[in-house]
Amino acid sequence: MQFQTAMAGVKKVVDGTPEQLDALGEKVKQLAYELGKTPEQIADIAAQGGQLGIALEKLPDFVKLAGKMSVAFDMIESDAAEATAKIVNVYDLSRRQHQHTGQQHGGKRERNCCGDATNRWYG
């Protein structure tokens, strides 16, 4: 029940067909497993991304990137999502610049935390 409530929050802020939103819900569950988070936490990241203007087709990669950043920087998921979207939207960073920023601040242990997702997110 909590997951459906969290996804209802996503559906309020993301434009898409019912099929697209159902597919996003399945991707959210998959990313939750991959990132070691709850599906509700990942849905909250997706909702935050939608509120901040991330397009539906880019949300899975955005969610993955913000989820990884929340782990790497020990941040609350919604804060990581907001920071990720603001960095990209406000500063209009390119993929390479954003990856570099993540690598610079992620430290040695998390050096490649953002690489995969930013490659798919931007290109």
pLDDT of residue 92: 62
| AA identity, residue 122 | Y
- If one compares 119 and 31, the residue with the highest pLDDT of the two is 31
Reduced 3-state DSSP string for the chain: CHHHHHHHHHHHHCCCCHHHHHHHHHHHHHHHHHHCCCHHHHHHHHHHHHHCCCCHHHHHHHHHHHHHHHHHCCCCHHHHHHHHHHHHHHHCCCHHHHHHHHHHHHCHHHCCCCHHHHHHHHC
Within 13 A of 27's CA, how many CA atoms are on the CB side?
18
As given in the structure block, the two tokens for residue 2 are 């909590």
75-83: average pLDDT: 87
> What pLDDT, on the 0 to 100 scale, is given for residue 77?
87
Query: pTM above 0.75?
Result: no
- Could you tell me the CA-to-CA distances from 17 to 13, 35, 52, 57, 67 in Å, in that order? 13, 26, 19, 12, 25
pLDDT digits (tens, 9 = 90+) for 39-60: 999 999 999 989 888 889 888 9
**Do the Cβ atoms of 43 and 3 come closer than 8 Å?**
yes
pLDDT tens across 9-43, in order? 999 999 999 999 999 999 999 999 999 999 999 99
Better-scored residue on pLDDT, 101 or 66: 66
